[in-house]
């Protein structure tokens, strides 16, 4: 476990006042996340996470996605799950335990999937556990 399983990370006042569009605020917000150690330290994951947040065009999206990532990482920490070793079942279990509007839950999954996309592009993970598996339609000619 990362040792950061603190409910105060979910405190909305701290969350909303702690992150602005200023690069130093994004870096500071990421510094508080309970990120996993990739063997070479947490720096790689933090750098990718900062770049991911900076890539989001809207400040409100950036704040919402940061909060969604906090909720996911807090859950991983609380359950003893290394987020870099998570699979689809872990993400599904997390989502199933959340409350809120279906649009909020969909946004949370999408935010986490977006973060994992960036980790994958950086070579830190092999697959994105938050993305649904593609289903192929059976070929009508194969029957």
Q: Quick: pLDDT tens for 90-133.
A: 999 999 999 999 999 999 999 999 999 999 999 988 999 998 75
pLDDT bracket for residue 135 (50, 70, 90): very low
**pLDDT of res. 77:** 87
Q: What are phi and psi of 45, to 5 degrees?
A: -65, -40
pLDDT > 70: what percent of the chain?
Answer: 67
| Residues 143, 94: Cα–Cα separation, whole Å | 38
| Residues 19, 15: Cα–Cα separation, whole Å | 7
Task: Give every CB contact of residue 22 below 8 A, 6+ residues apart in sequence.
Answer: none
Query: Over the stretch 3-28, which tens digit does the pLDDT of each residue have?
Result: 333 333 343 333 333 455 555 667 77
| Residues 60, 80: Cα–Cα separation, whole Å | 30
pLDDT bracket for residue 32 (50, 70, 90): low
Query: Over the stretch 59-93, which tens digit does the pLDDT of each residue have?
Result: 899 989 999 999 999 899 899 998 999 999 999 99
Pick from 100, 101, 106, 97: nearest CA to 79: 97
pTM for this one?
0.74
């Amino acid at each position: 476990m990362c040792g950061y399983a603190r409910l105060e990370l979910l405190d909305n006042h701290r969350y909303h006042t702690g992150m602005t569009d200023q690069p130093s605020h994004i870096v500071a917000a990421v510094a508080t996340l309970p990120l996993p150690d990739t063997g070479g330290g947490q720096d790689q994951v933090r750098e990718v996470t900062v770049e991911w947040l900076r890539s989001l065009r809207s400040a409100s999206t950036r704040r919402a996605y940061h909060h969604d990532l906090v909720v996911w990482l807090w859950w991983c920490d609380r359950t003893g799950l290394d987020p870099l070793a998570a699979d689809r079942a872990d993400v599904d279990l997390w989502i199933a335990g959340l409350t809120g509007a279906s649009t909020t839950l969909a946004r949370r999954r999408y935010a986490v999937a977006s973060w994992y996309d960036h980790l994958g592009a950086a070579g830190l993970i092999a697959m994105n556990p938050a993305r649904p598996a593609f289903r192929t339609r059976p070929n009508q000619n194969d029957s």
